[in-house]
Amino acid sequence: MHQNTNKFKSKFCQWAQANVPLNSINKFTNSLTQVLNNHITDCDSRVQIMIRNLVDSENLNFSLISDELIVAPNDKRESLFVGVLMPSWDKGLSKICKDEYVYDAISWFFHFASQYVARSRMVDVMSSLNIVYGRSCDFRGDSLYNLTIPKDERVKDDFILAFMRETKIRFHYEYGARERSLIFWVNKINALDPFIHRIFFNYINACKLYDGQFDEEAITSLDKTVDVIQQYARERMSINGTNNQRELTLNAFGMTVSEKVLLTRLYDLRNFFGGHPSMSKWWDLSEIFEGDIGSLFEVVKRLIYKIVMHENNNRVIEKNPASWSEWFEEHSMMLWETVWFEKIEKLIR
């Protein structure tokens, strides 16, 4: 068993000590061991399909088919649909986890882990649409389709047929400059990396808030985007500073003097209007800083370009793994920290 998987198993069992009934603890450990030793590898023989429509994607006439991803509009171009392949880790666990409390905990974790893969691939598309078209799309639409199929030589054909059957789409392959740019970014962005995922979550959220004229909240979310980039620089690039982490990060990514001034201004605006209730001019942020806010979005977008390319050239989380079981072994602790409730349990009880 991979050392990361051993650490994951230890963390999950420690969590169970405090969250699973005492008479189920031994069953939990035994069941989790079986899942990690056998079930994860067995899941390589099958795959799940998830298909969702993207909110705010109307009139976009773009199609893409790859081995793991399909994007296309429905026949009236009311919405883009995104189909992804994802691991089937959360399927078939009832055969292993006979105890209801054990099944509940283990199946929920692997549901969230599989969901993270699917969402990440959809975020790759949403982020690319934002960069190229300025759309703030959301995968939480009104359509959801899920199916498990064998993973064999026919899997791509079965994927395409299921997508066509569910969405009644039409494929369109006349690629202009924007469509080629969109494909470029879909291939480059890797939201399986939690840093990239969080960056685009906050940036797209900032765009939605700004479109809705919630300027103070948009500033806060936009600055959170930069804050996650600083965390990336600290953890992935070993760039550490006590009082000047932002400046060190911006220097590392080659931002210009004028860009650094704007990003310092963003931080100041967040502190005065977003992070805390402002002491004055609370009605007037939009009017006073109307000319600045658009520039702040543009400079953050330029910074995002740089971090996407850095991640692409220094990849830690594989975007299209040949084996999901091997990928899980290597990244099980990343999934634990990203999708499980350990850090926010006190808030949700």
Domains, the chain, in order of start with CATH, read 1-188+319-349 (no CATH), 193-316 (1.20.120)
Q: What is the pLDDT of residue 345?
A: 67
* For residue 13, pLDDT beyond 70: yes
Confidence grade of residue 332 (pLDDT, cut at 50, 70, 90):
very high
Mean pLDDT to the nearest integer, 125-143? 93
Q: What is the pLDDT of residue 347?
A: 59
Here the tokens at position 75 are 């026949």
C-beta neighbour count of 251 within 10 angstroms? 13
Q: Which of 236, 245, 240 is nearest to 267 (CA)?
A: 245
Confidence grade of residue 226 (pLDDT, cut at 50, 70, 90):
very high
Mean pLDDT to the nearest integer, 296-307? 97
Each as own residue / partner, the long-range contacts of residues 262-268 (CB below 8 Å, 24 or more positions apart, any chain) are 262/292, 262/295, 262/296, 262/299, 263/226, 263/296, 263/299, 263/300, 263/303, 265/292, 265/296, 266/219, 266/222, 266/223, 266/226, 266/296, 266/299, 266/300, 267/223, 267/226
Q: What is the pLDDT of residue 348?
A: 60
Please check whether residue 68 is in contact with residue 322, taking contact to mean a CB–CB distance below 8 angstroms: no
Give the separation between CA 4 and CA 336, rounded to whole angstroms.
Answer: 11
Q: What is the pLDDT of residue 256?
A: 96
Please check whether residue 91 is in contact with residue 48, taking contact to mean a CB–CB distance below 8 angstroms: yes
Mean pLDDT to the nearest integer, 54-81? 90
Instruction: Look up tokens 């080629």; give the residue.
Output: 180
Amino acid at 61: N
Q: What is the per-residue pLDDT across 267-284, written as a single tens digit (0 to 9) for each?
A: 999 988 877 788 887 777
Find the farthest-apart pair of alpha carbons in the chain and give their distance in angstroms, rounded.
65
* For residue 202, pLDDT beyond 90: yes
C-beta neighbour count of 320 within 10 angstroms? 14
Q: Identify the bridge partners of residue 145 per DSSP, sorted by sequence position.
A: 51
* For residue 331, pLDDT beyond 70: yes
Strands, sheet with 144-150, edge to edge from the N-terminal-most edge strand = 64-65, 69-73, 80-86, 46-54, 144-150
Q: What is the per-residue pLDDT across 78-102, written as a single tens digit (0 to 9) for each?
A: 889 999 999 999 999 999 999 999 9
Confidence grade of residue 169 (pLDDT, cut at 50, 70, 90):
confident
Mean pLDDT to the nearest integer, 26-41? 96
Mean pLDDT estimate for the chain:
92
Q: 317 phi and psi, to 5 degrees?
A: -105, 110
Mean pLDDT to the nearest integer, 224-250? 93
* For residue 293, pLDDT beyond 70: yes
Angle formed by the axes of helices 257-269 and 215-236, nearest 10°:
120
Q: 54 phi and psi, to 5 degrees?
A: -100, 125
Q: What is the pLDDT of residue 349?
A: 57
Q: Which of 189, 215, 191, 218 is nearest to 205 (CA)?
A: 218
Q: What is the pLDDT of residue 212?
A: 93
Give the separation between CA 183 and CA 62, rounded to whole angstroms.
Answer: 10
Helix (H) or strand (E) holding 254: none
Q: What is the pLDDT of residue 153?
A: 87
